[in-house]
């Protein structure tokens, strides 16, 4: 079952989730959807945050398959809201009535309905073969069995670090790095240095998660 993180579990830190819906599909690909309600009268997504969009662009640049999902018809007309008993294909109809867009193709709160595929079309496609292949290889190094594991830090490791660097980690190193990325909100400079030893230059994708070192407080000399 997909995970629907609460609002206080979402955000930009390593141990938080980047989307409203986080899931693992049957073919081991990842489902990451930021759900927005499309207001047809105003033709916009009222709850569209530019700061969040900029973070999604950074994830997209790494190859993380995060996308926006929004209703392509009036939300009250979605098949999933039809009175009971609903037709057997209500879930399929609903997927046809919802659009999905990568962040770079939804630059603002005004979606281009004709330019975006339906969520059903996306689910029926290869969902980005290169990204899926990257994730599949990572499964051989880091055991991922539950969507709860798919926090920001781990997504950056899977998609932002070269597969050679990930594959070269020993079992102990992979376990240690995994625990850091899913349990800590930011990296200390010490942890960052450890990542650099393990991953080499590839660790620079974690720079934005690294907190600056605290200045040392030396005692002032007496006058």
Using one digit for the tens of pLDDT, what is the confidence trace for 181-200? 888 888 888 888 888 888 87
Whether residues 94 and 143 share a domain: the answer is no
Whether residues 111 and 38 share a domain: the answer is yes
Asked whether residue 212 carries a pLDDT value surpassing 70, the answer given is: no
Whether residues 94 and 137 share a domain: the answer is no
Whether residues 112 and 46 share a domain: the answer is yes
Residue with tokens 């240095």: 193
Residue 2 maps to a domain:
no
Asked whether residue 131 carries a pLDDT value surpassing 60, the answer given is: no
Residue with tokens 């530019």: 50
So what's the pLDDT on residue 129? 47
Whether residues 135 and 96 share a domain: the answer is no
The domain boundary residue, chosen from 126, 156, 173: 126
Segments in the chain forming alpha helices (H): 50-62, 90-96, 119-124, 129-139, 152-160, 163-167, 171-183, 189-199
The C-alpha atoms of residue 122 and residue 128 are separated, in whole angstroms, by 9
Whether residues 108 and 144 share a domain: the answer is no
Residue 116 maps to a domain:
yes
Query: Between these two residues, 53 and 137, which has the higher pLDDT value?
Result: 53
Whether residues 106 and 137 share a domain: the answer is no
Whether residues 39 and 93 share a domain: the answer is yes
Contact predicate 151/22, CB 8 Å: no
Band the pLDDT of 126: cuts 50, 70, 90.
Answer: low
- Report the pLDDT averaged over residues 143-158: 81
Whether residues 162 and 185 share a domain: the answer is yes
- Report the pLDDT averaged over residues 146-162: 84
Whether residues 94 and 146 share a domain: the answer is no
pTM: 0.82
Residue 10 maps to a domain:
no
Domain count, the chain: 2
Residue 216 maps to a domain:
no
Rounded mean pLDDT of the chain?
Answer: 82
First to last CA, the chain: 67
Residue 117 maps to a domain:
yes
State pLDDT tens for residues 104-119. Answer: 999 999 999 999 999 9
- Domain assignment of residue 74, given as a range: 30-126
The domain boundary residue, chosen from 78, 98, 126: 126
Whether residues 109 and 141 share a domain: the answer is no
The domain boundary residue, chosen from 96, 126, 156: 126
């Amino acid at each position: 079952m997909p995970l629907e993180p609460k609002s206080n579990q979402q955000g930009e830190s390593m141990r938080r989730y980047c989307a409203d819906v986080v899931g693992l599909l049957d073919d081991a690909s990842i489902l990451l959807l930021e759900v927005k309600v499309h207001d047809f009268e105003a033709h916009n997504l009222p709850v569209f945050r530019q700061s969040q969009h900029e973070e999604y662009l950074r994830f997209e640049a790494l190859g993380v398959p995060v996308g926006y999902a929004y209703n392509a018809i009036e939300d009250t007309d979605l098949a999933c809201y039809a009175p009971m008993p609903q037709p057997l294909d209500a879930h399929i109809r609903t997927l046809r009535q919802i659009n999905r867009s990568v962040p770079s193709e939804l630059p603002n709160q005004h979606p281009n309905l004709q330019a975006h595929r339906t969520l059903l079309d996306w689910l029926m496609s290869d969902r980005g073969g290169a990204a899926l292949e990257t994730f599949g290889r990572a499964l051989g190094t880091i055991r991922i069995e539950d969507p709860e594991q798919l926090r920001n830090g781990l997504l950056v490791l899977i998609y932002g670090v070269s597969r050679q660097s990930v594959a070269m980690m020993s079992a102990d190193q992979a376990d240690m790095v995994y625990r850091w990325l899913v349990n800590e909100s930011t990296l200390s400079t010490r942890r960052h240095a450890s990542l650099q030893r393990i991953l080499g230059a590839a660790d620079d994708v974690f720079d934005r998660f690294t907190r600056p070192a605290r200045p040392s407080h030396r005692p002032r000399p007496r006058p």
